[in-house]
Structure 1
Amino acid sequence: MKIQSPATNFLNQTQQTPKQLAEQLATGKKVNSAADDAAALQIIDRLTSQQDGYGQAVRNAYDGISYSQVTESSLSGVNDAVSRIRELSLQAGNGALSDNDRAALQEEVVQLQSQITETFENASFGGKPLFDGQSVSFQVGPDANTTQKTTPSDGSFAAAIATIDISTQAGAQAAIDISDQASDEINAQRAELGAFQNTLASTIKGLGTQQENIVASQSRIQDTDYAQAVSRQASNDILTNASIALRGQANQSAESILSLL
């Protein structure tokens, strides 16, 4: 069995260090495998999973905002149509108009009724109906059951609007009340959607803060301290040169002893 000299052992150790330092400097990570630090690697993997979870939660929350914005925009269009119907109803309530005049106004009402019905039947977000009365839940956290939900209108008041007929003064008076009730429901729904958007915006801000904290924690464990690594590399280069010199001196001494023998 060949026994290595202390100088040789020291040289071998100093020659192994540059490989690890070079990898750390090249990748920017001081933990590149379980061999570097098994415990730290497990923590890094968990933090990476959490970071990915927060990132997806943020994207989900933005989807929720987009969903509510599209829904609110559709309701805004319906509200404009309802407001126009109310305006026409007020006009039809004027005793100076003839039946033919009111019939002409009713023709526009019919078109507006069709527009409202079409919106509630066909409006969708990514293929999902907006006004089916079903709650829509968004996963806005990295853990189970961290959700936010909203329940858009089912458009049931559209049925009342569809009955409006302002071809008579009595019908015009009834239409005013129906329009007011519909407008109140629409505005209440839009207010809820606005609150939902604000809640999601606040959630996104909180998620962003938590994600930043996780990234910072992961960085402290994983990332290479370049100043320290370069300093270690320079120090190791000096030790390597010194060990080579010591080994050379040891070899010369051994040769001198052999020559004497």
Structure 2
Amino acid sequence: MKIENPHLSLFNQISEKNKTLSEQLSTGKKVNSAADDAAALQIINRLTSQQDGYSQSIRNAYDGISYSQTADSALSGVNDAVSRIRELSIQAGNGALTDSDRQALQEEVSQLQTQISETFENTTFGGAQIFDGESRSFQVGPDANTTQSLQQTDGGFANAILSVDISTQAGAQAAIDAADTVSEDLNSQRAGLGAFENAVSSTIRSASNQRENIAASQSRIQDTDYAQAVSDQVANDILSQASIALRGQANQSASSVLGLL
């Protein structure tokens, strides 16, 4: 005749609890599988997806800033060239110069004009031409249509300075006016780039705050409370030792009953 130990079920429950607590302490997570808490696991996975979305959109936004900074750096070089052309034009307008002198100045202007043209033609970002007159849209949020766009110039506004010739006094006067007009357009373009960078930077700060809040929410649901888990493990160990002692007593009682039979 076999007598069932009434404390075996309790011992098994205590063992399972100890296994769960050990896993929580070793992984740092109180939800390690659907068996731990199916509803909580679904929430954790959703929050993880949201965090990943914000992280990628922040990287996209930084790409947008880098793109804008590359364009601004190129336009800064163009601005320097235009300023130099204006300076040479003022010099060429001086009646004390000979035609030969003005021709020498024009040679430097021609070099600067080539520099400007090459800047607009060859400036690229990620292998793509920047100054193509197209609009660039950057995905700066985790949801559909959370984008910020930048309308880029094709450099056409600089054509006025590319055609000047200061080898004559009249040409020098026309070049001064052209340089002033192009400088205004350059300032407008660079102001637009600066505004775009500021807007994207603000978006990055907002997205970073959102990501941190989501991470905090996920942590509260997922992460192990070590103080509580250690306390539970100590209590569970005491129950385990008590259960072992009870099993020993139960086995002795069962042996006594069998002896009487």
Q: TM-score, normalised by structure 1?
A: 0.97
- Tell me the CA shift for residue 160 of structure 1: 1.6
| TM alignment of 1:1-261, pairs within 5 A | 4-261=4-261
SS at match of 2:239: helix
Measured in 2, the distance between the counterparts of 1:9 and 1:206 equals 53
Segment of structure 1 superposing worse, 50-59 or 245-254: 245-254
Measured in 2, the distance between the counterparts of 1:181 and 1:215 equals 51
Change (3 A) 1:87 1:233: same
Q: Which amino acid aligns with 2:138?
A: F
- Runs (5+) with no aligned partner, structure 2: none
Which digits, 9 at most, give the CA deviation of each residue in 1:216-246, with x for residues without a partner?
0000111111111111111111001111111
SS at match of 1:174: helix
Measured in 2, the distance between the counterparts of 1:63 and 1:258 equals 81
- Runs (5+) with no aligned partner, structure 1: none
Query: 4+ residue runs of structure 1 moved beyond 6 angstroms?
Result: none
Q: Which amino acid aligns with 1:260?
A: L
Measured in 2, the distance between the counterparts of 1:134 and 1:23 equals 55
SS at match of 2:36: helix
Which digits, 9 at most, give the CA deviation of each residue in 1:103-131, with x for residues without a partner?
11100000000000000011111111111
SS at match of 1:34: coil
Which digits, 9 at most, give the CA deviation of each residue in 1:169-217, with x for residues without a partner?
1111111111111000001110111111111111111111000001000
Which digits, 9 at most, give the CA deviation of each residue in 1:2-39, with x for residues without a partner?
77443111111111111111111111011111111111
Measured in 2, the distance between the counterparts of 1:215 and 1:46 equals 11
SS at match of 1:35: coil
Measured in 2, the distance between the counterparts of 1:175 and 1:185 equals 15
- Tell me the CA shift for residue 258 of structure 1: 2.4
Measured in 2, the distance between the counterparts of 1:194 and 1:234 equals 60
Measured in 2, the distance between the counterparts of 1:236 and 1:6 equals 19
Measured in 2, the distance between the counterparts of 1:184 and 1:193 equals 14
Measured in 2, the distance between the counterparts of 1:32 and 1:172 equals 77
Q: Percent identity?
A: 71
- Tell me the CA shift for residue 259 of structure 1: 2.1
| Cα contact 2:3–2:254 (8 A) shared by 1 | no
Q: Which amino acid aligns with 2:241?
A: N
- Tell me the CA shift for residue 151 of structure 1: 1.2
- Tell me the CA shift for residue 248 of structure 1: 1.1
Q: RMSD of aligned C-alpha atoms?
A: 1.3
SS at match of 1:138: strand
SS at match of 1:194: helix
Q: Which amino acid aligns with 1:189?
A: Q
Change (3 A) 1:9 1:162: same
- Tell me the CA shift for residue 149 of structure 1: 1.0
SS at match of 1:36: coil
Measured in 2, the distance between the counterparts of 1:187 and 1:158 equals 12
